Amino acid sequence: MDSIELNKYAGAVLAALLVLFGTKTIVDISFKKHPPAQPGYNVEVASTGDTGGQADAKKDEVEPLGVRLASADIGKGESQAKKCKACHTFNSGGKNGTGPNLYDIVNRKLAAIDGFAYSQALIDKGGNWDYEFLECFLENPKKCLPGTKMAFAGIKRPNQRADLILYLRSLAETPAELPAAN
């Protein structure tokens, strides 16, 4: 390899580097970055004032079930019940699925349907499916009744639970009396 050939290769490498860095410099000049006047984002937060924690207490306060049932919507409850249809039936004389039939559930004795394999926790609890127990169970079955077989995360919003309970109440020839709205 002679010196002229070596000069050609060196020239080609230098020309490529010149094009590469020249292009980068031109792009940097053309699209100059402008730092913001104030770094970060301004997030507006509503002032709670000096309530001494009263605002937090009101936010966590849930109206009594009787009040929520008085203003509940059966149509919305029927929509909520779609979550239950994978395991339960709702018609009179309906067959049990993974879960028992829920027709006439309000005030029915716990673990009352013959032939359904209830969890021992539900059998041992005793009592009825009254409004308060339905409220607790629908919010979080595993927390309300440890040992239950029901694999359902629960309904977190109190008004949605009230809608569902009102709908379940309507599934009876003679619906149970509503609790006092106080």
pLDDT tens string, the chain, 182 residues long: the values are 788 889 999 999 999 999 999 999 888 888 877 777 777 666 666 655 555 555 555 556 889 999 999 999 999 999 999 999 999 999 998 999 999 999 999 999 999 998 899 999 999 999 999 999 999 999 999 999 999 999 899 999 999 999 999 999 999 999 999 998 87
Model pLDDT, residue 49: 56
pLDDT of residue 58: 55
Q: Are residue 6 and residue 74 in the same domain, yes or no?
A: no
Structural domains counted in the chain: 2
CATH of the domain at 162: 1.10.760.10
pLDDT tens digit string along 62-105? 899 999 999 999 999 999 999 999 999 999 989 999 999 999 99
What's residue 182's pLDDT?
73
The parent domain of residue 11 ranges over 1-31
Report if residue 176 sits inside a domain: no
State the pLDDT at residue 60: 64
Please write down the HEC assignment for all residues of the chain. Answer: CCHHHHHHHHHHHHHHHHHHHHHHHHHHHHCCCCCCCCCCCCCCCCCCCCCCCHHHHHHHCCCCHHHHHHCCCHHHHHHHHHHCCCCCCCCCCCCCCCCCCCCCCCCCECCCCCCCCCCHHHHHHCCECCHHHHHHHHHCHHHHCCCCCCCCCCCCCHHHHHHHHHHHHHCCCCCCCCCCCC
Per-residue confidence (pLDDT) for residue 174, from 0 to 100: 94
